[in-house]
Amino acid sequence: MRDFIQPRRNFLKSAGSVATFALLPSAVLLSGCQEDTTKTTPEESGLDDGPFDVELTLFARPDVAAILSGSASEVWRYTAKLIKGPADTLTHSDDSYIGPLIRLRRGQRVRVHIENHLTEATTVHWHGLHVPPEVDGQPRFPIQPDATRTVSFLVDDRAGLYWYHPHPHGDDGGRVGFQSYAGLAGPLIIEDNHERELDLPKDNQELVIVLQDRNFTGENELKYLSDGMGSMMTRMQGFKGDHLLVNGKPAEVKTALATTYRLRILNGSNARIYKLAWSDGRPVTVIGTDGGLLESPEEHAYVALAPAQRIDLWVSFEGDPEGTEIQLINEPHRAGDMMDGGMMGNLMGGSDNTSDKPTPLLTMAVSGATERAVPPLPGRLSSDLDRLSQPGNTANIRQFRLSMKMMRGFAINDRQFEGVTVADDEVVSLGATEVWEFFNDTTMPHPMHVHGLQFRVVSRKNADARSARQLMAGIVDSGLHDTVLVLPGERVRIAMTFKDFEGLYLYHCHNMEHEDNGMMRYYEVRK
Ligand code: C2O
Ligand code: CU
Ligand code: CU
């Protein structure tokens, strides 16, 4: 099995990986399937010319990083070098494989040189950003090993937490799951003036948290898919690891002041859905989602966070005495399992050994007061939402049925990924606002993602599966999203406007194993 990351020095390091990847000639692997994509990718695309406010080089390369205690692990990771722009544009994560935090401001013109030092082709996708197709990192624009591609774009998104990750896919299936798992992913924050005026917790009180799960060999090497039955099961369920990692490390204890914190959390896992809560039962205060701040804060007993989704939390330790330890925990649930954790799941042993008791992700140890006065949480966080992606009286509803293709993964309207091929019902008009309905006709949850925009969740119906009840109360549907969790049996409607850019974009399930195995299609925006 090609994706089994074997013990030391075998798979991730360039020299050793030749044998593995030789099974997948890169031309085949990343051609994007159709003839017209075999032509070479232009080296630069995006804005016509400078000046640019931010310019940086992003490197994708093999490396070693300490993850568990003991020997370091082979990884693939992003590193970056700032050529031009504000000094706080990049926050490096030297001791973790997580890509540098990229901090951009709305209105900036940004240029990125992407250098591929991997042994196979890759792309860099700006997840959640409203950018033209040519700079969106789609599989039809692969960057070959040792090649560089430059993209530039105008930052025109609401302030929020976004992220970047690879998006390669060829005749043989996708490599998103493998490459992300190997370590290629990083957070991206967009700021704007409105958000700054709110005086939300910042600097040491703003924590950016990337959640992932991994499996390891006895020698601390990353282990992805294994042979045989287990691998088939993983392709159907998606990969879940026994170790929950926070920013590429095991959970840690953090000294906190008795003040307010902002936790900006990205689920960068391949397939795991998190159920996040506070260990002392205090409500989870949500201030933002994928597309930035909500209109006003919302309290939930827990929040559900599916792969690729982000959640922005606010918490106050103001009244907590020194010595208190409060944990952000992942609560057990079986919602990611096929057959709802029923017979099939039990028979196959599942892959989710961590799910029987709550797992701490972060421990905040309150150590004393601050000198600074603690600003209260504003009751109103934003006021632009009712102008964005509103369904209005949109009469036509485009249906997308999510179904299973026996032993071949999952499909959207009975179709699987076919490269740049677009069906008649996958063409939308530039400027139009549409309502799409995802109907989940399978026994597994699917986090559905639409490229190039942020949408609103209009309605959610028929969640009757057992798994739905385990997560339902934690699903945050208000605000703007680029990824929406569709539970078994559910019909979820979203509304969005296709503005500014013509051309092809992807929509897919962000369970990366589902995506890689064909649960992905292009849609086209036409004038
Ligand atoms: Cu994170 Cu196609 O996307
Ligand atoms: Cu995306
Ligand atoms: Cu899926």
**Mean pLDDT calculated for residue range 186-198:** 96
Pocket of ligand 1 (CB under 6 A): 125, 127, 165, 167, 308, 449, 451, 506, 508, 510
What residues pair up with 522 in beta bridges, in sequence order?
506
- Asked whether the predicted pLDDT for residue 253 surpasses 70, the reply is yes
**Mean pLDDT calculated for residue range 54-81:** 97
% of the chain with per-residue pLDDT over 90: 76
Q: Is residue 470 within a helix (H) or strand (E), and if so which, with residue range?
A: helix 466-471
pLDDT at 43: 86
In the reported structure, the alpha carbon of residue 283 is separated from the centroid of ligand 3 by a whole-number distance in angstroms of 29
% of the chain with per-residue pLDDT over 70: 87
In the reported structure, the alpha carbon of residue 346 is separated from the centroid of ligand 3 by a whole-number distance in angstroms of 20
Contact 151, 46 (CB under 8 A): yes
Q: Residue 160: which residues within 8 A CB-CB, separation 6 or more? A: 128, 189, 190, 288, 289, 290, 291, 292, 293, 310, 312
- Asked whether the predicted pLDDT for residue 464 surpasses 80, the reply is no
In the reported structure, the alpha carbon of residue 107 is separated from the centroid of ligand 3 by a whole-number distance in angstroms of 34
In the reported structure, the alpha carbon of residue 297 is separated from the centroid of ligand 2 by a whole-number distance in angstroms of 26
* Most confident among 24-28, 227-231, 344-348, 437-441 (mean pLDDT): 437-441
Instruction: Measure the CA angle with vertex 195, ends 192 and 196; round to 5°.
Output: 85
Cα atoms found within 13 Å of the Cα of residue 182, Cβ hemisphere only:
30
Q: Which CATH class is domain 203-369?
A: mainly beta
Q: Using one digit for the tens of pLDDT, what is the confidence trace for 271-301?
A: 999 999 999 999 999 999 999 999 999 999 9
Quote the CA–CA distance of 189 and 494 in Å, as a whole number: 24
Q: Which atom of ligand 1 is nearest to the CA of 165?
A: 1
In the reported structure, the alpha carbon of residue 439 is separated from the centroid of ligand 2 by a whole-number distance in angstroms of 20
Output the residue whose Cα is nearest ligand 1's atom 3.
127
**Mean pLDDT calculated for residue range 13-41:** 36
Q: Using one digit for the tens of pLDDT, what is the confidence trace for 153-187?
A: 999 999 999 999 999 998 889 999 999 999 999 99
- Asked whether the predicted pLDDT for residue 351 surpasses 70, the reply is no
Quote the CA–CA distance of 504 and 501 in Å, as a whole number: 9
- Count Cβ atoms below 10 Å from residue 123 Cβ, excluding itself: 28
**Mean pLDDT calculated for residue range 36-44:** 59
pLDDT band at 467 (very low <50, low <70, confident <90, very high): low
- Asked whether the predicted pLDDT for residue 18 surpasses 50, the reply is no
Q: Which atom of ligand 1 is nearest to the CA of 167?
A: 2
pLDDT at 485: 97
Ligand closest to Cα of 451 equals: 2
- Asked whether the predicted pLDDT for residue 439 surpasses 60, the reply is yes
- Higher pLDDT: 227 or 85? It is 85
Burial of 379 (0-12, 13-18, 19+ CB in 10 A): exposed
| Residues at Cβ < 5 Å from ligand 3 ion | 446, 509, 511, 514
Q: Using one digit for the tens of pLDDT, what is the confidence trace for 294-344?
A: 999 999 999 999 999 999 999 999 989 999 999 999 999 888 777 544 444
Instruction: Measure the CA angle with vertex 42, ends 432 and 525; round to 5°.
Output: 10
In the reported structure, the alpha carbon of residue 44 is separated from the centroid of ligand 2 by a whole-number distance in angstroms of 20
Quote the CA–CA distance of 388 and 147 in Å, as a whole number: 38
Q: Which atom of ligand 1 is nearest to the CA of 128?
A: 1
- Asked whether the predicted pLDDT for residue 41 surpasses 90, the reply is no
- Asked whether the predicted pLDDT for residue 504 surpasses 80, the reply is yes
pLDDT at 334: 84
pLDDT at 229: 66
Ligand closest to Cα of 507 equals: 1
- Asked whether the predicted pLDDT for residue 140 surpasses 60, the reply is yes
- Asked whether the predicted pLDDT for residue 11 surpasses 50, the reply is no
* Fold assignment, 16-197: Immunoglobulin-like (2.60.40)
Contact 180, 166 (CB under 8 A): yes
Q: Using one digit for the tens of pLDDT, what is the confidence trace for 206-229?
A: 999 999 999 999 999 999 986 666
Residues of the chain with CATH 2.60.40.420: 16-197, 203-369, 385-526
Output the residue whose Cα is nearest ligand 1's atom 1.
127
Q: Which atom of ligand 1 is nearest to the CA of 127?
A: 1
* Fold assignment, 385-526: Immunoglobulin-like (2.60.40)
pLDDT band at 23 (very low <50, low <70, confident <90, very high): very low
- Asked whether the predicted pLDDT for residue 15 surpasses 90, the reply is no
